[in-house]
Amino acid sequence: MGAYHPECPARMSAIEDQLIAAGVLPFLAGYDAPCVEREALERVHSEEYIQRIVAMAPEEGLIHLDEDTAMNPHSIDAAFRAAGAGVLAVDLVMSGEVENAFCNVRPPGHHAGRDTAGGFCIFNNVAVAAEHALRHHGLKRVAIADFDVHRGNGTEQIFRDRDAVMICSVFRYPDFPYTKFLHDNPRILNVPLETGTSGTEFRAAIERHWLPALKRFKPQMILISAGFDAHREDIGGGLGLVEDDYVWVTERLMQAAERHAKHRVVSMLEGGYALNALGRSAVAHIRMLSGL
């Protein structure tokens, strides 16, 4: 997205490098992300929006979708593949070929609404994956757990009237996207955290709000919007989490998936911009998902 932009290619290699350094990568099954099929994309985005994004893709240089979100000539392919990764991951988990999956993708997705880009996001990757699980695989209930430091306002907007989807979100407030959040929808659990919130308070919020709601909802698959920008080393995030907190929340979500969802978990990378902390946190998350 341009020089010095935090949403940079080094984010993916930071995770891959840490997987290699930790000795984990050889024990994981790797898949190339395919381009998403238009039908899957149109389940969550309007046809007009998709056409507009494709038409805006530059042949050279950068164009801006908003003040934070840019596209270069390769961005449209990356965005199609980021969404396609979630679809493939759902297929692999549903078929039993893998138990869980982590999608190391960019651009992120949870700020993209039905007709809008924003917050570095072009298409809503986790929403595409959730709708694929519901419509293609016939699931009745899917939960999305979002622990990015920013609220997934795009995911919320897409699914606010979708009874088959529960969204559980913790985020720093007030912070981007600087919009009010829902209080009156029992399927959308927004849990705001104050600047400086520690891992202890984060865990207490999950225990108090997320876990009882997931128990009541009984999701048949859990998808994770895995943002690691709430890490204490991610200065822009303003929260105080560490790797052990990501391990803890991943374990709790896996336990919920074991009870209700036949262990089915698909996790998709969202934010995380302090590269060293991102790599360590993502690897801790992946190790818990994979049992390594």
Give catalytic residue positions.
111
User: Which residues on adjacent β-strands are paired with residue 142?
Assistant: 165, 221
Say if residue 136 is exposed, middle or buried (CB neighbours under 10 Å; 0-12, 13-18, 19+).
middle
Phi, psi (deg, nearest 5) at residue 71: -130, 140
Cα 187 from Cα 183, distance rounded (Å): 10
C-alpha distances (whole Å) from 107 to each of 12, 125, 277 are 10, 9, 19
Whether 123 contacts 42, CB under 8 Å = no
Whether 171 contacts 149, CB under 8 Å = yes
- Helix (DSSP H) and strand (DSSP E) numbers for the chain: 10, 8
Q: Kindly report whether the peptide bond that precedes residue 26 is cis, defined as omega within 30 degrees of 0.
A: no
Whether 120 contacts 82, CB under 8 Å = no
Whether 272 contacts 227, CB under 8 Å = yes
As given in the structure block, the two tokens for residue 270 are 């969202």
Whether 104 contacts 145, CB under 8 Å = no
Cα 83 from Cα 98, distance rounded (Å): 19
